[in-house]
Amino acid sequence: MKKGTLALSLLLASLGTAASAEARDTPYFLPIQEALATPAAQEKLDPSIRLVFADDGGTVDRNFGEVVTSRKTNAFNKTDEEACRWVMLSALIALQDSARQQGGNAVVNIASFYDRNPRALTDEYECHAGALMAGVALKGDVVTLR
């Protein structure tokens, strides 16, 4: 009976450790330009669809409305910063995809929207990293700029 109790105790302890590791949610505020300067960003972002952070970016001909994206990525075997750069790129690609689908040529007023808390982006973006996942949420306005 003692062996069963010991085994059960060890199992519960290991599950508790795994649950606490997954529960990590470390916020990071990382440079936007660093994410945009990666080779992957240079290759995958569409230069014909402008991404404008924290202001309107110019004269708007047509406003298609707000778009929100929340992206997660596997953080396993990556530093938190690497995972954050990757998921930021994924979120920016999603904003550009929305603009393309709606007929816009820009996404302006891009702000962080993690946990539905808006935070204007000028130099840094907000990313939350855990043991297994990293996430970025953004919102912005899809528009056609002159």
Question: What share of residues in the chain are helix, strand, coil (percent, to 5)?
Answer: 40, 35, 25
pLDDT at 110 over 50: yes
For 44-58, how does the pLDDT look when each residue is reduced to its tens digit (9 = 90+)? 999 999 999 977 678
For the domain bounded by 24-145, which CATH number is listed?
Answer: 3.30.110.70
Q: What is the mean pLDDT of residues 79-85?
A: 97
- Give the confidence band of 121 by pLDDT, cuts at 50, 70, 90: confident
Domain boundaries, the chain: 24-145
pLDDT at 19 over 60: no
pLDDT at 13 over 80: no
Report the alpha-carbon distance of residue 89 to residue 134 in Å, rounded.
Answer: 12
The pLDDT of residue 4: 57
> For the chain, what is the mean pLDDT?
88
The pair of structure tokens assigned to 104 is 């816009």
pLDDT at 12 over 60: no
**How many CB atoms neighbour CB 114 within 10 A?**
18
CB-based contacts of 139: which residues, under 8 Å, 6+ apart?
66, 67, 68, 69, 110, 111, 113, 118
Give the least confident one: 22-26, 100-104, 116-120.
22-26
